[in-house]
Amino acid sequence: MNYFSSNFKLGILGGGQLGKMLLYSTRKFDIYTAVLEASDEAPCKIACNEFHLGDLMNFDAVYNFGKQVDVLTIEIENVNVDALEALEKEGVNVYPSSKTLRIIQNKGKQKLFYTDNNIPTAPFSRFAYTSEIEESINNGGLQLPFVWKSAQFGYDGQGVKIVKSLDDLKGLPNVECIAENLVPFKNELAVIVARNPSGETKTYPVVEMEFHPEANQVEYVICPARIDAALARKAEDIALKTSKAFNHVGLLAVEMFQTQNDDILVNEVAPRPHNSGHQTIEASYTSQFEQHIRAILDLPLGRTGSKVGGVMVNLVGAEGHSGQVVYQNIENIMTMDGVTPHIYGKKQTRPFRKMGHVTIVNEDVNEARRVAEEVKKSIKVISE
């Protein structure tokens, strides 16, 4: 198949920043792209060959779009899976597959999948409705504290809450959910696995994630993770086992907990480019975005090693600011060595909205982490 400067058409469901960064690579290779997205303001709009407006959860919108492309991929999981299944039956290559997405879209199904495949994960209970949880606690079926997670449509800290008392259940949506044992962990780690249809598989180095205490969003991604080699190997092995169980094609970001006694538990996965791989654009031989394109097109996978230590800082909207965005002090951070800002192209900011990220590279990852702190203190995402 000739993908380059040809009439081959790659379809992407979702027009957000992940799609925009995928398009860095398709433009480099001159691969023709079509994007489907519900918002006319989407970051992808400026960079694809065709932009289609449509609801990603609508069967007809996804199906009719998919009929026009040769390979279909996603940059967000919340898409109509029935439409993907219909397209697969008609011979469209869909990566990740509808089967993989059906499991991953629902946190209850995802957790059961880990249990069924002997993939280590925190113990959990499933509930059809949040309202059933109180009864379970009163009957001794569930112990406080635990982590409440909405089974569907949670992202970036939405749909997740630590429940320490019955009062914490108040105000939670009455939806299908899971209650997961609260894991006292030392570290949150992630490994990105790339796999193409021919079965070639590669992993990126383990990264360490530091979270914002209030927003439950990643503040820093540190690559390589500051853990010993044996533990890194263990994390990679579990990520590979998870990838093999899903039999996925493309990228699979596997988020994990390192427990106090150095066990590794899988938290959740994302079958697409992921926040924990943004530093690969500057720090790796092959960025996660290029790797995803290589994988879904069954091209040889690129080298996954790091050229240099990398730390990624998320740029999120400051509290108390909504409206037309201003990146305050962006010039100041650009004077620092090894600092590259990525602005996603969202014109409107609001508290904690992901607006961009900054990569800091240095031979010494600890020095990169120190500079990252300076970057975080300097730049502010505010409104006019």
Instruction: Please name every residue paired with 34 in a beta bridge, in sequence order, or none if there are none.
Output: 11, 50
From 290, 287, 273, 279, select the one nearest 313 (Cα to Cα). 279
Kindly give the residue spans of alpha helices, DSSP state H, lying in the chain: 17-29, 59-66, 81-89, 98-105, 107-116, 132-138, 229-246, 280-283, 288-296, 330-334, 365-378
**Kind and range of the H or E run holding 47:** none
CA distances (Å), origin 98, targets 86, 87, 239: 9, 9, 21
- What does the pLDDT average to over 209-215? 79
Domain CATH code at residue 16: 3.40.50.20
Answer whether residue 134 is part of any domain.
yes
Q: Could you tell me the pLDDT band of residue 156, with boundaries at 50, 70 and 90? A: low
Domain extent for 80: 9-94
Regarding whether 144 and 194 lie in a shared domain, the answer is: no
Answer whether residue 1 is part of any domain.
no
Helix, strand, coil distribution of the chain in percent, nearest 5: 30, 30, 40
From 214, 237, 293, 279, select the one nearest 29 (Cα to Cα). 293
pTM over 0.85: yes
Q: Residue 173 burial by CB count (10 A; 0-12/13-18/19+): exposed, middle or buried?
A: exposed
Regarding whether 265 and 210 lie in a shared domain, the answer is: yes
Answer whether residue 109 is part of any domain.
no
Residue 183 assigned to a binding site: yes
- What does the pLDDT average to over 238-257? 98
**What is the rounded distance in angstroms from the CA atom of residue 203 to the CA atom of residue 219?**
23
Answer whether residue 4 is part of any domain.
no
Answer whether residue 20 is part of any domain.
yes
Query: Is residue 240 over pLDDT 90?
Result: yes
Regarding whether 328 and 227 lie in a shared domain, the answer is: yes
Regarding whether 143 and 90 lie in a shared domain, the answer is: no
Give the model's pLDDT for residue 157.
Answer: 66
**What is the rounded distance in angstroms from the CA atom of residue 2 to the CA atom of residue 16?**
27
Query: Is residue 168 over pLDDT 70?
Result: yes
Q: Residue 81 burial by CB count (10 A; 0-12/13-18/19+): exposed, middle or buried?
A: buried
Residue 268 assigned to a binding site: yes
Query: Is residue 65 over pLDDT 90?
Result: yes
Centre a 10 Å sphere on the Cβ of residue 82 and count the other Cβ atoms it contains.
12
C-beta pairs of 48-53 under 8 Å, 24+ apart in sequence: 48/12, 48/15, 48/19, 48/23, 51/15
Regarding whether 200 and 176 lie in a shared domain, the answer is: no
Regarding whether 168 and 225 lie in a shared domain, the answer is: no
Domain CATH code at residue 169: 3.30.1490.20
Residue 210 assigned to a binding site: no
Q: What are phi and psi of 235, to 5 degrees?
A: -65, -40
Query: Is residue 174 over pLDDT 90?
Result: yes
Query: Which of 73, 94, 115 is a domain's end point?
Result: 94
Could you tell me the two tokens for 363? Answer: 């031979």
Residue 347 assigned to a binding site: no
Positive or negative torsion for Cα 67, 69, 302, 105: negative
Whether residue 213 has a cis bond before it, omega within 30° of 0: no
Regarding whether 168 and 267 lie in a shared domain, the answer is: no
Query: Which of 181, 196, 229 is a domain's end point?
Result: 181
For the chain, the average pLDDT equals 96
Regarding whether 297 and 235 lie in a shared domain, the answer is: yes
DSSP code for 318? P
Q: Which of 20-24, 109-113, 138-142 has the lowest mean pLDDT?
A: 138-142
Helices and strands (H and E) in the chain: how many: 11, 21
Answer whether residue 102 is part of any domain.
no
Could you tell me the two tokens for 364? Answer: 């010494």
Query: Is residue 219 over pLDDT 90?
Result: no
Answer whether residue 113 is part of any domain.
no
Residue 182 assigned to a binding site: yes
- Render pLDDT for 185-205 as a digit per residue (tens, 0 to 9): 999 999 999 999 999 999 999
Give the model's pLDDT for residue 211.
Answer: 83
The percentage of residues in the chain with a pLDDT greater than 70, rounded to a whole number, is 99
Query: Is residue 162 over pLDDT 70?
Result: yes
Regarding whether 174 and 259 lie in a shared domain, the answer is: no
Q: What single letter denotes the amino acid at residue 329?
A: N
**What is the rounded distance in angstroms from the CA atom of residue 201 to the CA atom of residue 300?**
10
Query: Is residue 245 over pLDDT 80?
Result: yes
Residue 188 assigned to a binding site: yes
Q: Which residues, including other chains, have CB under 8 Å from residue 182's CB and lie 6 or more apart?
A: 145, 146, 147, 162
Distance from the Cα of residue 349 to its chain's centroid: 20
**What is the rounded distance in angstroms from the CA atom of residue 355 to the CA atom of residue 358?**
11
Regarding whether 334 and 259 lie in a shared domain, the answer is: yes
Give the model's pLDDT for residue 79.
Answer: 97
Q: At which residue do the structure tokens 């992808």 appear? A: 44
Regarding whether 33 and 14 lie in a shared domain, the answer is: yes
Regarding whether 262 and 371 lie in a shared domain, the answer is: yes
From 94, 372, 52, 370, select the one nearest 248 (Cα to Cα). 94
If one counts the domains in the chain, the total is: 3
Residue 329 assigned to a binding site: no
Answer whether residue 368 is part of any domain.
yes
* 3-state SS, residue 87: helix
Could you tell me the two tokens for 288? Answer: 């996660």
- Render pLDDT for 339-363 as a digit per residue (tens, 0 to 9): 999 999 999 999 999 999 999 999 9
